[in-house]
Amino acid sequence: MPTPAKGPRLGGGAAHERLMLANLSAALFEHKRITTTVTKAKRLKPYAERLVTFAKRGDLASRRRVLGLISNKGIVHELFTDIAQAVENRDGGYTRITKIGNRKGDNAPMAVIELVLEPVSAKQAVVAEATQAAAKAAPVAEEAPVEAAETEAAEAKYAGSKPATADNVAPEGFEVKGNEDSMKYHVPGSRWYDATTAEVWFDSAESAAAAGFVPAGGEAAQAVEAE
């Protein structure tokens, strides 16, 4: 026999527990509040709220699913019409458990579990709307600065430089090619200039040297524009 996911079973077996929770849910939906043990109330709470969630969907598949658990069509109809409409603006918390002390005789802790059918207050509605709006706006607000920071970092990686272009065409005013793998630079007219693909463009050989790049082939090979 499989063990329950959490805590002991209610009753003798899994089938008995399912029937007990279904019957307790039917009584809760019919009377709106019932008195039972704390253990049963805690196990009933997620079970009943899941059925309320199906009722809020209101489609035929959800109705058939609930009817497979609660056979009383009158109670299911009330769940899908009156109760679902009453909790339409709630995003959860459809039930409330209140402990009422111990039962005489076996001293079992007792509780009242009831449906929360009162309308959502204006303050709660405003807070919910503000939370949803903040959740929608947060990704945009977070992504925009990141993109801007990445662009700024790419443009200002080295002083007096610009990032490489896909077509290897020098941006206006930035004609010195820099190779970050070798950390060497090439000035226009030098021996390997045309055969080199720029990984970064500098506005002058001095800017490339200041960024830590060295002249390819030595200073004499890159002295075309330096002199």
Name the band, by pLDDT with cuts 50, 70 and 90, for residue 211.
confident
Considering only residues 149 and 89, tell me which one the structure prediction assigns the higher pLDDT: 89
The strand pair at 95-102 and 214-215 is best described as unpaired
- What is the torsional sign of CA 46, 52, 54, 60? positive
- What is the torsional sign of CA 185, 187, 189, 193? positive
- What is the torsional sign of CA 115, 120, 126, 129? positive
Considering only residues 1 and 15, tell me which one the structure prediction assigns the higher pLDDT: 15
Rg of the chain over all Cα atoms, to the nearest angstrom: 36
pLDDT at 226: 42
Token pair recorded at residue 126: 């405003």
Considering only residues 139 and 46, tell me which one the structure prediction assigns the higher pLDDT: 46
Considering only residues 150 and 164, tell me which one the structure prediction assigns the higher pLDDT: 164
One-letter amino acid for residue 30 of the chain: E
* pTM, full prediction: 0.53
Please give the Cα distance from 178 to 193 (Å, whole number): 10
For 87-91, which contacts have Cβ atoms below 8 Å and span 24 or more sequence positions?
Answer: 87/52, 87/56, 87/115, 87/116, 87/117, 88/56, 89/119, 89/120, 89/125, 90/116, 90/120, 91/128
Longest dimension (CA), the chain: 106
Are the C-beta atoms of residues 186 and 196 closer than 8 Å to each other? yes
- Highest-confidence segment of 6-20, 41-55, 118-132, 176-190: 41-55
Name the band, by pLDDT with cuts 50, 70 and 90, for residue 114.
very high
Please give the Cα distance from 184 to 145 (Å, whole number): 33
